[in-house]
Structure 1
Amino acid sequence: MPRSSMVMGALAMAPLLMGSTLEAQQTNTPLLACYVPRSGTLYLVGQNGAPGTCRAADHVLVQWSAVGPTGPQGPAGPQGPPGTGSSLAGSATLGNVETVVANVSFTFTQPGTQTFVTATCPTGKIAISGGLLRDDSYGGYSPGSGSPWVHELGSYPNKAFGYSDREWVVHLSAQSVGTFRARLVVTCARIN
């Protein structure tokens, strides 16, 4: 048998001799073997209980890997679907901003009573900020005036709790009794 046929036969048999080293090929770990020129055989070294180096000085250490060099970058993938909802995230722009003022009045009959007051934006716009306007003449607390002492517990867009994105809510708690009057302001905008 010609020597080149023996070498090719030994290389063809190498995968069978490797057994569990196929896993190493998938992780790009190089395979090490020794080629015996006299017989044309090939044996593994450096793994799975095989010798650490070639057994004789005339055996030739060879190395290969199942993973080749990195190829060129592929083409860009398809564009994703458009987003949904009326979120302020992304590259949206605000347009047609306006302020809506709602006069609110609520009678508290006992201290500790809580209520929610709401101002609503026109259709097609969302609430982007808001709160109460209080001053000495409207919504301010003056002892003996009949106006209750009120704490504002929260001020937020109703969308934060899964409700309408057109509404701004203020959560109030009375510390005394009486009729509370104030102006609830909401800034509304169209999202483009």
Structure 2
Amino acid sequence: MDWIFDGGRPCLDFVNTLRDRHLSGRELLTEPAALAEWLLAAGHADRRHRVTADDLALALQLREAIDRLARGLTHAADVRLVNKIAADLPVPHLRIDADGPRREVRCSAGPIKAVLAELAADAIDLVASGGVVRICAFDDCGVRFHDASPKHNRQWCSMTRCGNRAKARAHYARRKSNS
């Protein structure tokens, strides 16, 4: 699959599973297996988990809510959804047994909802911190990314992909106009 992990934040990498938003959109999470594949590729799972159609539907709702919130659109329904999903965040517990104390993480919601909770929590951190989210300036990209540059003037999702293509295109245009 054509996954891109240039968002700078896990929640934005998740948002970028809907490509070409500036056009008609190209959905990469077309079936539960695609979400399972993305979770593995993104490092949110150490093995392929079984994803249900309900998991996928919830994931797509979360993804769009995160996108709107990251763009500064604060719809109450999106805030409620993100908060509700984040509430399933796995929490550590101290367990003491014959082997001594150890940290144990429990999530009664299951592994898929636990990952969605992590993505929701990351979105909360991004929005609450006032993080700057941009859309790649390359005309046929549209990837969302967190602009953590000192002056908040980053233009491209990735210099190696879009930045170089934009610079090559500009160079070609200059050479063509000088001929």
Q: Tell me if TM exceeds 0.5.
A: no
Determine which structure has the larger helix proportion and give its number: 2
- How does the TM-score come out when normalised to structure 2? 0.22
Q: TM-score w.r.t. structure 1 length?
A: 0.20
Larger strand percent: 1
